[in-house]
């Protein structure tokens, strides 16, 4: 009777990706994630559009300069959470619900600790780090204000990502979409109220984001604590399970390092961008928001492939995992490039949405037309990285990203800036490193035994 109840819960509350047409399953899983990322990107963009138009380009530059640093500090913990997602998917695919529950509760405990640590560190370290990054003195006060307000809400942001990660790990990508739509609408409404309505300072844009994320985190928690949910959270069981923590760290630590080194490289890029002044900072920040839309098919398929591959390898279905991987790579590759062509063609109008200052627009357009046509390579790299993580081979993308997207990118920028102080050389760092990583991933994908990442069923 107990097994039958578990089986019913599995089919009702989650998505078993080990049976059925892989293409339909991946699309059905990826589309809600894509829509979720779209709404997240829309409200992130709305932050910048509202701040840039109602406060000015200094405030827009402040928000932009904070973004890379926020990503650096949060990315390590979100990367570790991805390791929990792989573990949860693996045990779900194998039908071992007790181990899956241990992974879920260990992940929640880790998220609570991570959120507290990030809040303390982020608030205290803000001024020193922003000065180290060479933030323009005219922008620094607003950057500090935005950064500190944002990090007061870090626990809510971390836990929201933990909860949605648990749901997507068992194939449920629709509920996170509903919660994110709610969060997006609420965040935009709060931004318009605080910034456009009451004319408050840039810190209130961060306050709006925190409130919206906290509301979504509560909705996620309410769902996950309901009876009959296969990935149910029991507040009494939230603790660190020693063996499971080791397994999560095994898969998650390389991903945490990978995302952190990418974040570090982006901080170095931001530091060099800051040396070109306020217009370059605002233009770069505007472009990054636009580029986020190219990440929609990249992120959703990379996540879908990690879950699909993990579940199927956990069930011992190797050929099925390969079939799904090929489909996901091709689809993401084509969609990302289509978005890149659109951004290349309409860059002036898109950058102008954030701020119409000619200097800001010129920098943003220059970057867009340097990078946009290479988005297909970015998609390929991320999809193969997702496949590696799903196969339990997270060390591979960590090594590639560390070597190419961090070390090589930083060395290239240092060398290029020593030859000529030309911002275009910084922009070219991205297409160059995307090309190199894609070549390495292609060789690995074709020649390695990634499909045997797990030793059969758990």
Please give the Cα distance from 86 to 103 (Å, whole number). Answer: 10
Among residues 14, 85, 34, which one has the least CA distance to residue 331? 34
> Domain for residue 1, yes or no?
no
Q: Which residue has the tokens 């909860």?
A: 163
> Domain for residue 12, yes or no?
no
Q: How far is CA 80 from CA 86, 250, 253, 254, 258, in A?
A: 10, 9, 5, 8, 10
Q: What are phi and psi of 334, to 5 degrees?
A: -70, -40
Amino acid 297: pLDDT: 87
pLDDT one-digit tens code per residue, 330-363: 999 999 999 999 999 999 999 998 888 999 999 9
119 within 8 A of 155, measured Cβ to Cβ = yes
Please state the length of the chain: 458
Task: Give the 3-state DSSP-derived string for the chain, with helices as H, strands as E and coil as C.
Answer: CHHHHHHHHHHHHCCCCCCCCHHHHHHHHHHHHHHHHHHHHHHHHHHHHHHHHHCCHHHHHHHHHHHHHHHHHHHHHHHHHHHHHHHHHHHHHHCCHHHHHHHHHHHHHHHHHHHHHHHHHHHHHHHHHHHHCCCCCCCHHHHHHHHHHHHHCHHHHHHHHHHHHHHHHCCCCHHHHHHHHHHHHHHHHHHHHHHHHCCCCCHHHHHHHHHHHHHHHHHHHHHHCCCCCCCCCCHHHCCCCHHHHHHHHHHHHHHHHHHHHHHHHHHHHHHHHHCCCHHHHHHHHHHHHHHHHHHHHHHHHHHHHHHHHHHHHHCCCHHHHHHHHHHHHHHHHHHHHHHHHHHHHHHHHHHHCCCCCHHHHHHHHHHHHHHHHHHHHHHHHHHHHHHHHHCCCCHHHHHHHHHHHHHHHHHHHHHHHHHCCCHHHHHCHHHHHHHHHHHHHHHHHHHCCHHHCCCCCC
> Domain for residue 78, yes or no?
yes
Among residues 133, 141, 21, which one has the least CA distance to residue 72? 133
Please give the Cα distance from 351 to 93 (Å, whole number). Answer: 44
> Domain for residue 458, yes or no?
no
Q: What are phi and psi of 387, to 5 degrees?
A: -60, -45
Number of domain units in the chain: 1
Residue-number span of the structural domain to which 388 is assigned = 19-452
Amino acid 66: pLDDT: 63
> Domain for residue 165, yes or no?
yes
Amino acid 85: pLDDT: 84
Percentage of the chain lying above the pLDDT 90 cut: 43
> Domain for residue 289, yes or no?
yes
pLDDT in tens, the chain (458 residues): 333 334 444 444 567 889 999 999 999 988 888 887 788 777 677 777 888 888 887 887 777 666 666 777 777 777 777 778 888 988 998 889 999 999 999 999 999 998 999 899 988 988 888 888 777 788 888 888 888 888 888 999 889 889 988 998 888 888 888 988 898 889 889 989 999 899 888 889 889 988 998 999 999 999 999 987 888 999 999 999 988 988 888 888 888 888 777 877 888 898 899 889 889 988 998 898 899 888 888 989 998 999 899 889 988 899 999 999 999 999 999 999 999 999 999 999 999 988 889 999 999 999 999 999 999 999 999 999 999 988 988 889 999 989 999 899 999 999 999 999 999 999 999 999 999 999 999 999 999 888 775 544 33
Write out the two tokens for 193. Answer: 């109220």
Please give the Cα distance from 107 to 166 (Å, whole number). Answer: 9
- Rounded to a whole number of angstroms, the CA Rg of the chain reads 21
280 within 8 A of 146, measured Cβ to Cβ = no
């Amino acid at each position: 009777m107990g097994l039958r109840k578990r089986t019913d819960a599995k089919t009702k509350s989650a998505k078993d990706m080990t049976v059925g047409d892989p293409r339909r399953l991946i699309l059905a899983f990826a589309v809600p994630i894509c829509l979720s990322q779209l709404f997240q990107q829309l409200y992130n963009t709305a932050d910048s559009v509202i701040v840039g138009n109602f406060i000015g380009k200094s405030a827009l530059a402040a928000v932009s300069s904070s973004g890379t640093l926020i990503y650096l500090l949060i990315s390590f913990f979100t990367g570790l959470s991805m390791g929990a997602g792989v573990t949860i998917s693996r045990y779900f695919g194998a039908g071992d619900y007790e181990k899956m529950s241990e992974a879920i509760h260990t992940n929640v405990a880790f998220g609570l600790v991570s959120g507290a640590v990030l809040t303390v560190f982020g608030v205290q370290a803000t001024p020193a780090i922003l000065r180290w990054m060479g933030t323009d003195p005219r922008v620094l006060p607003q950057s500090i204000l935005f950064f500190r307000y944002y990090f007061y809400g870090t626990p809510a942001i971390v836990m929201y990502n933990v909860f949605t990660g648990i749901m997507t790990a068992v194939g449920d990508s629709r509920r996170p979409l509903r919660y994110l739509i709610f969060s997006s609408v609420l965040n935009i409404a709060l931004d318009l109220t605080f910034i456009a309505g009451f004319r408050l300072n840039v810190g209130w844009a961060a306050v709006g984001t925190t409130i919206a994320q906290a509301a979504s985190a509560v909705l996620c928690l309410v769902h996950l604590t309901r009876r009959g949910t296969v990935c149910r959270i029991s507040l009494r069981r939230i603790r660190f399970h020693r063996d499971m923590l080791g397994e999560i760290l095994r898969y998650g630590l390389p991903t945490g390092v990978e995302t952190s080194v990418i974040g570090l490289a982006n901080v170095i890029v931001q530091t060099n961008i800051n040396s070109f002044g306020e217009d370059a900072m605002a233009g770069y920040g505007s472009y990054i928001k636009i580029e986020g839309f190219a990440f929609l098919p990249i992120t959703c398929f990379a996540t879908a492939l990690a879950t699909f591959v993990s579940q199927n390898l956990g069930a011992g279905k190797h050929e099925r995992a390969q079939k799904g991987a090929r489909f996901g790579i091709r689809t993401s590759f084509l969609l990302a490039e289509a978005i890149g062509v659109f951004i290349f063609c309409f860059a002036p109008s898109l950058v102008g949405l954030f701020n119409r200052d000619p200097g800001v627009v010129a920098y943003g357009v220059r970057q867009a037309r340097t990078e946009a046509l290479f988005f297909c390579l970015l998609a390929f790299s991320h999809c193969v990285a997702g496949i590696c993580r799903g196969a339990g081979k997270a060390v591979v993308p960590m090594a590639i990203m560390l070597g190419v997207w961090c070390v090589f990118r930083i060395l290239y920028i240092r060398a290029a800036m020593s030859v000529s102080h030309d911002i275009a050389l910084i922009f070219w760092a991205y297409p160059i490193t995307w090309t190199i990583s894609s070549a390495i991933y292609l060789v690995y994908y074709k020649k390695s035994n990634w499909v045997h990442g797990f030793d059969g069923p758990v």
